[in-house]
Amino acid sequence: MTAHTSKTLRVALAGLGTVGAGTFRILTQNAKILESRTGVVLTVSAVSARNKNKDRGIDLANVAWEDDPLKLAVRDDVDVIVEVMGGEGDPAYALVKTALENKKHVVTANKALLAYHGTELSAIAEQNGVSLCYEAAVAGGIPIIKMIREGLGANNISGLYGIMNGTCNYILTTMERTGENFADVLSQAQKLGYAEADPTLDVGGGDSGHKLVLLCALAFGCKPDFKNLSVAGIDRLSAEDIQIASEFGCRIKLIGQAKKLEDGRILQMVAPSLVPKTSPLAHVDGVLNGIFAQGDFVGPSFVEGRGAGEGPTASAIVADMMDIAKGTAAPVFGVPVNDLAASPTATASDWSGEFYVRLVVEDRPGVIAEIAPILRDHRISIESLIQRGRSQDEPVSIVIMTHEAKGGDIADACTEIADLSCVLDNPLVMPVLNI
């Protein structure tokens, strides 16, 4: 890839929300630091956003304004496009593609865009000798992209496990601390600005999934494959689940995990999971993110930090700009696009280990006798069973901890169990991680 050889790197910002405005502030407030560390002046030459008249607390008097973000991609006074509009479709997709085709470097915080179009866009970047950087797209201020692509580049990585969504982690931490249920804590998180008005992408696991496929591509040299990802969210969890998990020496976290199976398939799944309290991931609280990686020579590596917000995300964006200014370039996913494998994706059905299964059933004799044969027929052995009663004539919860089983067998058994007349809701299933 080509390095930028002039003494000035001219930047266009597409999007002036929290992160875009934060990026502008770093570039202006820390201009001397950036120049001393790169030997290049980083300057904003043009911007685009929805509302030109909005007061963002930044001085745009000497910066060109484009109502249409696509026009940024063809300006002669722009070397780097910073895309912080979001979304996997247009205008973000069209802007990034056009910019790369016009031999402009791109820095983006848009994980959804790369999860869906990463292979195509990285190929265009390679063809045109420019960089496509996305440190800010995963885990905010944690330099996880550089860590996997460069810091752990000498290792064969056997597994990745991450808490990659601060909204979900805040909700789970608060549920554990207060004993309140999911809906109440979600409402509080929305009032505090930690959760969106429509929180589906966060609490449903999709946001973590976007990030996971990017890390998986880096770790295992495979094409990003979001469409075949197994995703489950936290919206069905109860305070009771969190309490029972604690009794088993675990905490519940929304975990994105990826690992290569013996048959060469790549297991990629996002699911609420029981994590032993002895694991470093169990102690990632509030809105923080944490990622655990296992390398064959380096051993276990763990990083934790703020995964979102103006400062951390803008910091990661500017760090990518600094690499471009210094001429530091690397393939988008660690290896040339033509070397990325189209590895078949394994799903949650292929995950093997212990499971937590919660059933809501009628409070009457014989219920367990109806459930047990189904588990037996699907080769599922019970390690322990807890039955929690409620007030008279109300449903009760049965929690089963299994011995090692395969996800597909658990899913098939739960489908049959859900059809029993004594079972009043779909079973809740969570893997138990031993990390």
Model confidence over 202-252: pLDDT tens digits? Answer: 999 999 999 999 999 999 999 998 888 999 999 999 999 999 999 999 999
For residue 265 the two structure tokens come to: 């398939």
DSSP, collapsed to helix, strand or coil, labels residue 357 as strand
Using an 8 Å Cβ cutoff, are 4 and 79 in contact? yes
Give the pLDDT band of residue 418 (cuts 50, 70, 90).
very high
For residue 128 the two structure tokens come to: 């045109």
Torsion, CA 168, CA 169, CA 175, CA 178, rounded to 10 = -140
User: What's the count of helices (H) and strands (E) in the chain, helices before strands?
Assistant: 13, 18
Burial of 414 (0-12, 13-18, 19+ CB in 10 A): buried
Q: What is the pLDDT of residues 339-356, one digit of tens each?
A: 998 878 899 999 999 999
Helix runs in 296-406, H state only: 310-326, 367-377
Pairwise CA distance, residues 130 & 47, whole Å: 20
Give the pLDDT band of residue 55 (cuts 50, 70, 90).
confident
User: pTM of the predicted model, to two decimals?
Assistant: 0.92
Catalytic residues: 211
For residue 346 the two structure tokens come to: 């394994």
Q: What is the pLDDT of residues 261-306, one digit of tens each?
A: 988 899 999 999 999 999 999 999 999 999 999 999 999 999 999 9
| Domains present along the chain, CATH in parentheses | 8-141+312-339 (3.40.50.720), 144-305 (3.30.360.10), 351-432 (3.30.70.260)
Name the amino acid, one letter, at 148: I
Give the pLDDT band of residue 72 (cuts 50, 70, 90).
very high
Q: What is the pLDDT of residues 99-112, one digit of tens each?
A: 999 999 999 999 99
Give the pLDDT band of residue 392 (cuts 50, 70, 90).
low
Please compute the mean of the pLDDT values over residues 21-33 and round it to a whole number: 95
Q: How many CB atoms are closer than 10 A to CB 107?
A: 28
Q: How many CB atoms are closer than 10 A to CB 237?
A: 23
